[in-house]
Chain A
Amino acid sequence: GENVEQHPSTLSVQEGDSAVIKCTYSDSASNYFPWYKQELGKGPQLIIDIRSNVGEKKDQRIAVTLNKTAKHFSLHITETQPEDSAVYFCAALYMDSNYQLIWGAGTKLIIKP
């Protein structure tokens, strides 16, 4: 069935350094890939998304890249800050699943001061 794999499960980086989280998906028909940030005790928040007609999208310190040939997409956070500490989830939209999102397992990002 459809699957989204996310790596790493935990990522610890020094404040100010960059963080990269990668996801791969199985259905080549997917055309929408969002990223969510979940802080402790809160619901997931959509932070950036990308559609299959572009290869990269940026919003201030965060960016997402998409490689459709290889079926993977990545979240890049530059100049990390303590408030970036959270769990990040990737997802892919599957047309055959009634337009449902298939979710990665999450990455716990820890920013070390």
Chain B
Amino acid sequence: NAGVMQNPRHLVRRRGQEARLRCSPMKGHSHVYWYRQLPEEGLKFMVYLQKENIIDESGMPKERFSAEFPKEGPSILRIQQVVRGDSAAYFCASSPVGEQYFGPGTRLTVT
């Protein structure tokens, strides 16, 4: 059973561009969580999704950020018009219910 996959592993964007981060959950997992982590800091919850539904997006900025988990395909975290402050590691985790299994993360650098 393959683990949680994230791509790309590293992403460089110029200010104003869009960033798309992908997460493929473990087989059989229907819950996906996205977290953001700055260097030397903890995990900051962003959004929790089930297939075709956003369950909790209380940690997501109201503007420029969106997430989806379609019936088919990976979950996508989309950041529009990126700014330098968006530079961080973004992790997704998948879950059957309860325990979460993390992917390797996408390191976003905004230049």
Interface residues in chain A, defined as those with a beta carbon under 8 Å from any beta carbon in chain B = 32, 34, 36, 42-46, 49, 89, 93, 97-101, 103-106
Listed from nearest, the 5 A-B pairs whose CB atoms lie closest are A43-B102, A105-B42, A106-B42, A44-B102, A43-B104
Stretch in contact with the other chain, from B66-74, B77-85, B91-99 = B91-99
A89 and B35 alpha carbons, distance in the complex (Å)? 14
A46 and B93 alpha carbons, distance in the complex (Å)? 11
Once the chains bind, are B56 and A98 in contact (CB under 8 Å)? Answer: yes
Q: Given A44-B43, A46-B100, A89-B43, 17 other A-B contacts at CB below 8 A?
A: A32-B99, A34-B99, A43-B4, A43-B102, A43-B103, A43-B105, A44-B93, A46-B99, A46-B101, A49-B99, A89-B42, A93-B98, A97-B56, A98-B55, A98-B56, A100-B56, A103-B42
Interface residues in chain B, defined as those with a beta carbon under 8 Å from any beta carbon in chain A = 4, 33, 41-43, 45, 48, 55-56, 91, 93, 97-105
A42 and B104 alpha carbons, distance in the complex (Å)? 5
Which residues of B have CB within 8 Å of A89? 42-43
List, sorted by A's number, 6 A–B pairs whose CB atoms are closer than 8 Å. A42-B105, A43-B4, A43-B102, A49-B99, A100-B56, A101-B100
Centre residue among B4, B100, B104 by max chain A CB count within 10 A: B100
